[in-house]
Amino acid sequence: MQNRIAFVTGASRGIGRACALALSSAGARVVLAARQVDKLEQVAAEIRAAGSDAFVVPIDMAAPDSIRAAFSKAAKEFGRIDILVNNAAITKDGLAMRMKPQDWDTVIATNLTGAFVATQQVLLGMMRERWGRIINVTSVVAEAGNAGQANYVASKAGLIGLTKSLAQEMASRNVTVNAVAPGFIDTDMTQSLAQEFKDRLLAAIPLQRLGRPEDVAAAVRFLASDEAAYITGHVLNVNGGMYM
């Protein structure tokens, strides 16, 4: 992965941050993208302190113009993107019967449409280079469903469909497209859950623990590597066995 250029969305914390650090440690030069530039700069400082290259760009995944501008800045800095990790996502949970149209639209726009627009920015360059890795971070709930998250589940299930379609479109150009489906990972999003709910979760996970961002990042790093050259259109579950 030496000198490959990786672009990671939602890189300011949690899984995105772990992915950026993992790709950097494998030799990639990393573009860090998220809304919170101050947090991105902290991640960039970690990467630079380890002797690697990091470049920060602001991005709003619900705004196509912001996405295009972020990739344009990255292209001016590095010339190309070899690895794209579509990780950024939001939740706006609620029962379907009471879900506001805006909550549906915002989650789909950010998690699914935003990932598609980001992917469009790199396809031509990857085709030209005849090498590329696109990794979409989906979720265990995209496969199993989850009450109260119809918008989030639909967006993440849509990412799986997008992954498989793009894998077929891009295979002849040596561009692989895969997905990683995390289970419940110990991040800011899960730390706010009630302890009673966490206890029920743990009882449903054969490995008896929440995942770590580094568990997901290791899967992303593998799929981005040359060792994964014969894997495409695959959904790699990182969920401790809670869905098989």
Q: Give the pLDDT score at 220.
A: 98
Q: Give the pLDDT score at 194.
A: 78
* Domains of the chain, first to last: 5-237 (3.40.50.720)
Residue 119 pLDDT greater than 80, yes or no = yes
Range 92-118 average pLDDT:
98
Give bridge partners of residue 6 from the DSSP assignment: 30, 83
152 belongs to the catalytic site: yes
Task: Let me know: does 27 contact 2? Beta carbons within 8 Å.
Answer: yes
> What's the whole-model pTM score?
0.97
Q: Give the pLDDT score at 101.
A: 98
Residue 197 pLDDT greater than 90, yes or no = no
**Catalytic choice (87, 152, 166, 216):** 152
Q: Give the pLDDT score at 195.
A: 85
